[in-house]
Structure 1
């Protein structure tokens, strides 16, 4: 960036990706020829050999037998539908003149239930990872010739969430060890028998840092600050979030020990939204924000100490230019216009937005946590609503384990099947061993 002062009058529209107007497409890149990815090597392989008939192995022209010279190989995927299996546990009984002994069967996740660990894991993953509502799963099971009602599956989900509550508590302890926690929230529809319509509840994701790779979800019936206040009770450290007013009381209270970290992706959206109505003023601001992200691209592979030095050397001057520019145009924009909101939001939250330049472990934005919301948003379009507040709490607990598995590259079905089959017998003092990031280390 040149050292000259940024001025809106010097700006000329540029078709940069960071400035692309909504609805407009940039110059299309030349498409490359499509190439099939190599077939996945860990899958079971079946080799089918296609040979000539014996009479075709003789040449009618020279009257000689054909000799093998090699082979041609090609691969394709075939799908084998999932299937349900009935497992019958037979417990042998023995007796003498004074006693009777019966062999014991392994503990089940839900005693006296017809659902085994693998079936429960499948229902959980289908609902919380693949976003399949229970009524669709009911139809799928019908195609397998098995009658499992959505009410029954709903009961299974609630019982599994209760069974995994100690593990959820252990995961929260790991989360609170994080130097920084990222959080956000999104709305969900909730049925209420007292109302003729669905009301709005909230789902709050809480994401740990790289050293504590867990994601927890919390459900609250409203967006009141009492929800995050209760969840975060006892945590001291950085909290990265948008400028939700409910957090302000936390940050003002020194006894809480919470330090606010802003999100530049959130601030950038304000400027991008205002770009269509005021490109001459919003364009320079977006160019400077783009430069902040270019510095972050260089900083990504560095250690926290080197990342901090790079930010202080390169990002701080850019931030100072941006602040001076926003102060300059603040008097030129209408307060309630899109551009006025962009300028006001950024200047009002300037300290929090600059916080990432104080510590190399902090991130420029909260995108990782916002990605954790995406699963809820996609699911919301499929299952539409929760049946009750209790249903929302159940979904939050189960989604926490699925998202944490996905974060560390663990198949949530494999993890859930294993954990559900042995958590009832696992010592509570060693419950942290079952957390996804610890579990995958033990499997290595």
Structure 2
């Protein structure tokens, strides 16, 4: 088995301290080793941040460390949890309702609405990176583009309409010049998502 994985060694020693056959002392003779691949699932933990206050004994001035920054203001979600939720939704195609059920089995109640708000907040945090990626992909040069129609149910009507999922790819890896990049915009109308320009 691969040697790059973390390892845990469990030693199962014989219960006998003396030879059960004659009562003599036992000495090491060797060891049989077997390996088993195990999966340790993600685990939640609460990180409590305490900020002690100190008061000056002479002038009563109070000092305290500043509040550490959070990915989402006034939220209890840590950066690792947010990354796990967003990667689950977009990289692993795991819907938020299913993630909510998984977390419930682990003893943590996180509603779909909460996960949805967090996902939206992360999207806002990543918007500057998206803008840079968009400029890079659409800059003059070779851009590959395509779209696929996607049926979308209109809320409240029960009817569906056709939306478009687009892909814009910049890929010069064969020329060994620039790194590849891709965009996957979505439109509700049958027009291209972006003009081939960084000015829009």
TM-score normalized with structure 1 length: 0.39
Contact kept? 1:108, 1:116, Cα under 8 Å: yes
Which residue pairs with 1:43 in the alignment? Answer: 5
TM superposition shift of 1:56: 7.6
TM superposition shift of 1:68: 4.1
Contact kept? 1:203, 1:219, Cα under 8 Å: yes
User: How big is each residue's C-alpha offset from its partner over 1:124-152, in whole Å with a ceiling of 9 and x where there is no partner?
Assistant: 01111111111111111211222211011
Separation in 2 of the partners of 1:190 and 1:154? 19
1:84 aligns with one of 44, 63, 69: 44
2:32 aligns with one of 56, 65, 72: 72
Matched positions, count: 192
Residues 291-330 of structure 1: pairs in structure 2 closer than 5 A:
none
Which residue pairs with 2:70 in the alignment? Answer: 108
Which residue pairs with 1:208 in the alignment? Answer: 170
Q: CA RMSD in A?
A: 2.8
For the pair 1:233 / 2:197, whether they are aligned, the reply is yes
More helix by share: 1
Separation in 2 of the partners of 1:193 and 1:157? 21
Which residue pairs with 1:223 in the alignment? Answer: 190
Separation in 1 of the partners of 2:114 and 2:197? 35
For the pair 1:153 / 2:115, whether they are aligned, the reply is yes
Separation in 1 of the partners of 2:163 and 2:93? 18
TM superposition shift of 1:182: 2.6
Indicate how the Cα distance of structure 1 residues 54 and 94 shifts in structure 2: closer, same or farther if over 3 A, else same: closer
Residues 407-418 of structure 1: pairs in structure 2 closer than 5 A:
none
For the pair 1:120 / 2:82, whether they are aligned, the reply is yes
TM superposition shift of 1:220: 1.0
Q: Is there any run of 5+ residues in structure 2 with no aligned partner, and where? A: none
Q: Is there any run of 5+ residues in structure 1 with no aligned partner, and where? A: 1-38, 236-444
User: How big is each residue's C-alpha offset from its partner over 1:208-233, in whole Å with a ceiling of 9 and x where there is no partner?
Assistant: 223223222211112323x242xx22
Higher relative contact order (CA 8 A, sep 6+): 1
More strand by share: 2
Separation in 1 of the partners of 2:137 and 2:21? 74
